[in-house]
Amino acid sequence: MEERYYLTLHDIMSEQQMKTDRRSFLEKALGAMGVLTVGTVAYPIVKFLIPPETNSPDNSTIDVVAVEEVPVNSGIIFPIGNKPGILIRTPEGVFRAFTAICTHLGCTVQYRSDLIHIWCACHNGHYDLHGRNIAGPPPRPLQEYEVNIQNGRVYVTVNA
């Protein structure tokens, strides 16, 4: 016995509607993927061409940190634009700030609480608490910046 299936006009319309819906969905999905692809490529290019504002162009004052966040006889590295600075708090509690770029070959210096001075790990360069080069290969002192304390915060002024 042979069975026959007949499609009604309603069935045909529903099938066409489903095809249209699928096509529409695929078109939208492809469009969204295209937008994402273009965005993924374009975003880094735009970010490169329009660099972000830095917190410290030259000749500016930087709000670095709260006073209580830097213990006595310690130091922190902070950004000066896209370069590192070092803020130290001496054993006497005095704040001083310098460029953190070693004058030898440009490594980032750090504060050594055990030595009570600034030290460059790259070639064992040493600077005193005034940024003066005292041992190792660094040929010059670190550039010093002005430090001011206001309302419990440490501000560093960078002059070009």
Instruction: Report if residue 134 touches ligand FES, rule: CB under 6 A.
Output: no
Nearer to ligand FES, 109 or 154 (CB): 109
Chosen residue from 122, 141, 143, 157 binding ligand FES by CB under 6 A: 122
Nearer to ligand FES, 101 or 154 (CB): 101
Q: Which residue stretch of 9-17, 25-33, 90-98, 103-111 sits at the interface with ligand FES (rule: CB under 6 A)? A: 103-111
29-47 burial code (b ≥16 CB/10 A, e <16):
eeeeeeeeeeeeeeeeeee
Q: Which residue stretch of 41-49, 51-59, 99-107, 149-157 sits at the interface with ligand FES (rule: CB under 6 A)? A: 99-107
Q: For the residues of 53-93, what is the DSSP string, one character each? A: PPS--SSEEEEEEEGGGS-SSEEEEEEETTEEEEEEE-TTS
CA 44 to CA 121: how far, in whole Å?
34
Please name the residue that has the structure tokens 């709260």: 66
Instruction: Report if residue 83 touches ligand FES, rule: CB under 6 A.
Output: no
Q: Which residues bind ligand FES (CB under 6 A)?
A: 102, 104-105, 107, 120, 122-123, 125, 136-138
